[in-house]
């Protein structure tokens, strides 16, 4: 694999973006060790996937290129294959599940691919794509279970070693395993002492379960913000490399992933999708070894739907204690609501939403029930606000 990765680095040089590795003083203070970020969210198409896709498609024979390629994906792999194929003048056909979000298939078409919808999920689209390619003599481009795809992703590891040779830890998202197996193969071949840690979404932890059982196994995952790594089964090739080169694989919860996305957006002005933010989320949960001194976190992509981003931001604010919801009952007379809002304003809180309920059964006829959503600085600030409201005679129901 080492030679394949070096060949891939030569092949993609000048074509794929060499993304920066930047420090984060905010996250360094938060975690207690030096934090650096590998920004694959700034990669072409917004994801690391173009590395493996370009390496694979460019390595095909002249005859295979002339016939075209097929891939199955509802996200970043689709766009990576479409982009790489267009650049190389190769026709690409992407099979997507029928429930693929509009923004994703529009982006894939925008990179030059033809899109066919099939199946209710990725597995059905994947199986159809394999058969479609076989029946028509077209080259199939796997999302992770392929040596050339893995090697392409491994070029990230070479760049990290060149840019930050004294890093002691690299933290990488894990889905099907192509990214981490490539990076781990690259860095461990050059520096066996470096620690490589994988992170899965807790709602879909196929790699962790596979490592427990000693073989790739399929898991029934649930919905997750990190949908880009919600893979039911890690690959056979990737699993073998993970067992050989990766030191540990941990998971991260949904709340932490949301907080990580919010933290990166606010503090570093970086748009990172859930699958990329899991690395930061794991550190927020204290999942990294205490011996960590200088860690590189791979932010694997930045393709997050606007509607998803809105939900994630709200969830992140809630989990950080920066949004509080409460209810109270006040007299239905002029000036009462103004008095409450003035008190809240004096406490430096921002009122986001107020709902009046005059018809509530449990509320006296001369009163109204208020539901209020406030934006605050954090948990300590919210406690001060609640204390002040209670001291001023308001009976509160926290929601």
> Quick check: 78 and 101 in contact, CB under 8 A?
no
How deeply is 66 buried, as exposed, middle or buried, from its count of CB atoms within 10 A (0-12, 13-18, 19+)?
A: exposed
Write down the catalytic residue from 59, 185, 300, 382. 300
* Residue 72 in tokens: 């199955």
Order across the sheet with 139-140: list the strands: 114-117, 92-96, 69-72, 139-140
Angle 49-58/76-88 helices, nearest 10 degrees?
A: 40
Q: Is 73 a catalytic residue?
A: no
Report residue 321 CA to chain centroid gap.
22
The rounded distance, in Å, linking the Cα atoms of 275 and 1 is 25
Give the DSSP per-residue string, 90-140: --EEEEE-TT--HHHHHHHHHTT-EEEE-SSSHHHHHHHHHHHHHHHTPEE
Kindly give the pairing relationship between strand 367-375 and strand 323-331. Answer: antiparallel
Quick one: tokens of 127? 């199986």
Task: Based on the residue annotation, tell me whether 300 is a catalytic residue of this protein.
Answer: yes
Cα dist from 76 to 23, 83, 265, 369, 375, whole Å = 26, 10, 20, 47, 34
C-alpha–C-alpha distance, residues 152 and 12, integer Å:
8
Measure the CA–CA gap between 65 and 46, rounded to whole angstroms. Answer: 25
- 34, 38, 44, 49: the active-site residue: 49
HSE-CB for 170 with a 13 A CA cutoff? 35
**How are beta strands 350-357 and 397-398 bridged, if at all?**
unpaired
Q: So which residues are the catalytic ones?
A: 49, 300
């Amino acid at each position: 694999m080492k030679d394949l990765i070096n060949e891939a680095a030569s092949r993609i040089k000048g074509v794929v973006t060499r993304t920066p590795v930047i420090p984060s003083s905010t996250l360094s203070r938060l975690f207690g060790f030096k934090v650096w970020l590998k920004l694959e969210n700034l990669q072409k198409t917004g994801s690391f996937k173009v590395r493996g896709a370009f390496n694979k498609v460019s390595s095909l024979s002249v005859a295979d290129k002339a016939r075209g390629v097929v891939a199955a994906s509802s996200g970043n792999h689709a766009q990576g294959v479409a982009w790489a194929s267009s650049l190389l003048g190769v026709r690409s056909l992407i099979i997507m599940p029928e429930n693929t979000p509009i923004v994703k298939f529009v982006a894939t078409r925008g990179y030059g691919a033809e899109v066919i919808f099939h199946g209710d999920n990725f597995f059905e689209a994947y199986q159809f794509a394999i058969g479609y390619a076989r029946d028509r003599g077209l080259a199939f481009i796997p999302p992770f279970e392929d040596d050339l795809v893995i090697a392409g992703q491994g070029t990230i590891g070479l760049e990290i070693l060149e840019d930050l040779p004294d890093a002691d830890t690299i933290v990488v998202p894990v889905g099907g395993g192509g990214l981490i197996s490539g990076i781990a193969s690259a860095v461990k071949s050059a520096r066996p002492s470096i620690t490589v840690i994988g992170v899965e979404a807790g709602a879909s932890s196929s790699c962790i379960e596979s490592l427990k059982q000693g073989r790739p196994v399929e898991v029934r995952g649930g919905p997750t913000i990190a949908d880009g790594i919600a893979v039911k089964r890690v690959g056979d090739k990737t699993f073998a490399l993970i067992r050989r080169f990766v030191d540990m694989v941990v998971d991260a919860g949904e709340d932490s992933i949301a907080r990580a996305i919010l933290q990166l957006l606010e503090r570093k002005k970086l748009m990172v999708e859930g699958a990329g933010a899991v690395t930061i989320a794991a550190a927020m949960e204290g999942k990294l070894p205490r011996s960590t001194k200088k860690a590189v976190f791979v932010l694997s992509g930045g393709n997050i739907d606007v509607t998803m981003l809105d939900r994630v931001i709200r969830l992140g604010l809630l989990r950080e204690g920066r949004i509080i919801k409460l209810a109270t009952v006040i007299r239905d007379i002029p000036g009462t609501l103004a008095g409450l809002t003035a008190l809240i304003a004096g406490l430096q809180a921002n009122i986001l939403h107020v709902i009046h309920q005059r018809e509530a059964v449990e509320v006296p006829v001369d009163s109204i029930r208020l539901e209020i959503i406030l934006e605050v600085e954090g948990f300590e600030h919210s406690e001060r606000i609640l204390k002040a409201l209670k001291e001023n005679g308001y009976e509160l129901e926290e929601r």
